């Protein structure tokens, strides 16, 4: 029920109605709940309504944190292999 789909705004009119592109499909969407949206913005769509605009800067920060986690793990594995090789 609380499934929200990230989709790109492809059309928006003055009455805040328009369409998003979701995996190549254009879906009728109501943008009434958000301000200052423009074509090209990414939003979360739920039950035909856009409920939140994606913040790209925050997204980048999260993704870089996640990459760090992966790198840390890779490094730890490498060190372990070295230790094992020494033994």
User: Which residues contribute to the site for other proteins (CB under 8 A)?
Assistant: 1-4, 30, 32-35, 44, 46-49, 51-52, 54-56, 58-59, 61-63, 65-67, 69-74, 76
Smallest distance, other proteins to C-beta of residue 62, A: 6
For the chain, give the longest Cα–Cα distance. Answer: 71
Distance CA 74, CA 72 (A): 5
Residue nearer to other proteins on the CB measure, 70 or 85: 70
Q: Is 30 left (phi over 0), alpha (psi -120 to 50) or beta?
A: beta
Smallest distance, other proteins to C-beta of residue 85, A: 20
- Write out the two tokens for 33: 């709940």
Residue nearer to other proteins on the CB measure, 39 or 48: 48
Q: Cβ atoms within 10 A of the Cβ of 64, count?
A: 9
Smallest distance, other proteins to C-beta of residue 67, A: 6
């Amino acid at each position: 029920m609380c499934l929200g789909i990230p989709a790109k705004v492809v059309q928006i009119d003055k009455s805040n109605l328009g369409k998003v592109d979701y995996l190549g499909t254009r879906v009728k969407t109501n943008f009434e709940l958000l301000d200052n949206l423009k074509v090209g913005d990414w939003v979360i769509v739920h039950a035909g309504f856009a409920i939140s605009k994606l913040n790209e800067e925050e997204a980048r920060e999260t993704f870089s944190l996640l990459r760090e986690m992966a790198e840390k793990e890779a490094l730890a594995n490498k060190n372990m292999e070295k230790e094992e090789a020494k033994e």
